[in-house]
Amino acid sequence: MAINDPVIAAQTPAADFTIEQRWSQYTDDEHAVWQKLYEQQVKILADRAVPEFYTGLEALNLNDGGIPDFDKINKPLFDLTGWKVISVPHLIPDDIFFDHLANRRFPAGRFIRSRDQLDYLQEPDIFHDVFGHVPLLTQPVFANYMEAYGKGGLRALNYDCLKNLARLYWYTVEFGLMNTKDGMKIYGAGIVSSRTESLFSLDDPSPNRIHFDLERIMQTDYRIDDFQQVYFAINSFEELLDATYKDFGPIYEFMSQSDKMYAVDQILPKDKVYHTGTQSYASAGGRFAKAS
């Protein structure tokens, strides 16, 4: 991993993998990268993200002239939903991650991407983690979902069904769409923090767009290295929380007996399809296609 952050390198993480953010040690250039990404995304997302996302952005004042100071944004965040953001050096073990979520702590990377990675990087940086994830944590129903997910993660580990649960996270928290009265909108953090995918996910004819279905999603593969080939849309965060409120035990029992998996571009007879994708982007080689 090519993370070059001296403030991370100077620290030994605590047992729960947290480090200090040491906000005063960000450089002017790091703040400028945040500012650039922030301004760019706010413009692109104006009519694309769910309204709850903007409400959250404003509540947290994430446009305070650079990288947010966690001590500052944690005040309004904690008052609204009891969540807080904590700083971690890089990806952390699953059980530690779930334990933080279960206790309403959101682990965010400290480092920010470099200028040659503005459009694409695989590991989550502070822009993805904070701009992408934290605004919706100010919204009570979504905040409850994230806590429930953390608790569910610890359970899934016991059932040995983490893969199934991880797909739910992927297709909701990271790449979820919402079918609103004003049309299809974005709420997934992986999309809102990406200039290119904020356009692709809603406008491109290539990917499938299908209504959310819990068990189907838990059996659907996903891509970590390129735009998604399928997006799932919920009607509301209430729908998401209601669908996941039940005990997943029986689902896990069933899934550990069947290894049925759906491909990223598959459409099933029972799917409620909003858009049947052409898959032309993926067929042409996606991000790795040779420039013509």
Enumerate binding residues for Fe ion (CB under 5 A).
124, 189
- CA 40 → CA 53, 119, 195, distances in Å? 16, 11, 7
Q: Judged by CB under 6 A, does residue 154 bind ligand PHE?
A: no
For residue 162, which of 172, 174, 149, 148 has the smallest C-alpha distance?
A: 149
**Judging by DSSP bridges, how do beta strands 208-211 and 183-186 pair with one another?**
unpaired
Q: Judged by CB under 6 A, does residue 149 bind ligand PHE?
A: yes
Partner whose footprint covers residue 92, from ligand PHE, Fe ion, none (CB < 5 to 8 Å by kind): none
Q: Judged by CB under 6 A, does residue 28 bind ligand PHE?
A: no
Q: Judged by CB under 6 A, does residue 97 bind ligand PHE?
A: no
Nearer to ligand PHE, 236 or 244 (CB): 244
Residue linked to tokens 């571009």: 265
- As given in the structure block, the two tokens for residue 29 are 């250039």
Closest residue to ligand PHE using C-beta atoms? 152
- As given in the structure block, the two tokens for residue 103 are 């206790």
Nearer to ligand PHE, 164 or 193 (CB): 164
Of the residues 3, 96, 148, 166, which one makes contact with ligand PHE according to CB under 6 A = 148
CB atoms closer than 10 angstroms to residue 168: 24
Partner whose footprint covers residue 244, from Fe ion, ligand PHE, none (CB < 5 to 8 Å by kind): ligand PHE
Nearer to Fe ion, 166 or 267 (CB): 166
Q: How far apart are CA 245 and CA 160, in angstroms?
A: 20
Of the residues 47, 247, 258, 288, which one makes contact with ligand PHE according to CB under 6 A = 247
Shortest reach from residue 142's CB to Fe ion, in Å: 14
Q: Which amino acid is at 34?
A: W
Which residues does 79 contact at the CB level (< 8 Å), separation at least 6?
Answer: none
Nearer to ligand PHE, 45 or 137 (CB): 137
Which residues does 121 contact at the CB level (< 8 Å), separation at least 6?
Answer: 113
Counting Cα atoms < 13 Å in the Cβ hemisphere of 257 gives 5
Q: Judged by CB under 6 A, does residue 244 bind ligand PHE?
A: yes
Binding-site ranges for ligand PHE (CB under 6 A): 145, 148-149, 152, 155, 168, 244, 246-248
